[in-house]
Amino acid sequence: MQVQVARIGKPHGIRGEVTVQLFTDAPEERFAPGATLDIEDFDANSLVGAIAPAGVLTVAGSRWNKKILVVRFKEVANRNNAETMRDTRLTFDSATVGSDDEDGYYEHDLIDLPVYLAQEIGEDGYLPEEPIAHVVGLQTMPTQDLLILENVADGEEVMIPFVEELIPAIDIEEGYVVINPPAGLLELNGSDDEDEEADDSERD
C-alpha cells in the first residue's frame, strides 16, 4: 500500500533544496540519504515528469532547520526545479517496511495529546493554533489498534484505526498527533448519536 510521507513546500536557497510538510513519524528513515520516494499521481508528460522521469525522487541529504525538515533530492538541481516540485506529494510502499521498523506506543504516552488534521498544517510544518481533538484512549485489538479521540467542537468520541495512512505522524517529544482521516470519519460517531436521539424522540 502506498502511504503518503510528505508534501514538498517552498524552495530553500538556490541549490534545489526544499522544505517538506511531513506526514510520517519516521522522517530520519524516510529521508535518509539514498532513500527513494514515489511521486503521487505521477504524470510523465508534466513539468514534474521532466525533472523526475522515473516518477521517483532520491534523497541526497536532509537537515533540520529549527522544526522544519529541509531536503535535497538528486533529481532537483536548482531553485527553478524546486519551485516546479512545489506541492508534489511523496509516498512509499508500506509493504517494503518490516515489522521491526514499526514503532510502538503506550496509552499513557498518548493521552491528552492535541490532534491536528494533516491538511491544515502549514506548508512550512507549523501547526494550527487550535487542535481539532485530543487523545483520550488507545484500544488494543487482536487485528488492529484504535486511537480514541475527543472532538474539541462537540466533545464526541471518535475511534480511528491506528495505521500510518490515517495517523501519519506522532511526536511524543513535541506533544502532538497528526491524522489524515477519510471524509466523514470525525462526524461518524456524532451522527450516530443524533440518529439515536431522533429515534428516541419519535418513540416518545
**Model pLDDT, residue 181:** 86
How far are the Cα atoms of 38, 53, 56, 65, 83 from residue 43, in angstroms, in the given order? 12, 9, 11, 31, 17
CA 90 to chain CA centroid, Å, is 11
> In the sheet where 157-161 sits, what is the strand order?
157-161, 146-151, 133-139, 114-117, 176-179, 169-171
**Model pLDDT, residue 192:** 45
Task: Identify the structural domains of the chain with CATH numbers, from first to last.
Answer: 2-96 (2.40.30.60), 107-203 (2.30.30.240)
Retrieve residue 148's grid coordinates.
Answer: 480514541
In what helix (H) or strand (E) does residue 79 lie, and over which residues does it extend? helix 79-84
Local structure of residue 128 (DSSP, 8 states): P
CA distance 183 to 188: 10
**Model pLDDT, residue 196:** 45
**Model pLDDT, residue 100:** 40
CA distance 31 to 184: 32
**Model pLDDT, residue 11:** 96
- Would you write out the chain's pLDDT as a tens digit for each of its 204 residues? 678 889 999 999 999 999 999 887 778 889 999 999 999 999 999 999 999 999 999 999 999 988 889 999 999 999 999 999 999 999 988 666 544 444 567 788 899 999 999 888 876 778 888 999 999 998 876 667 889 999 998 889 999 998 888 998 888 888 999 998 887 776 655 444 444 444 444 555
Residue 152: how many other CB atoms lie within 10 Å: 13
SS3 142: coil
Closest by CA position to 150, among listed 90, 100, 202, 110: 110
SS3 152: coil
**Contacts for 98 with CB less than 8 Å, ≥ 6 apart:** none
SS3 25: coil
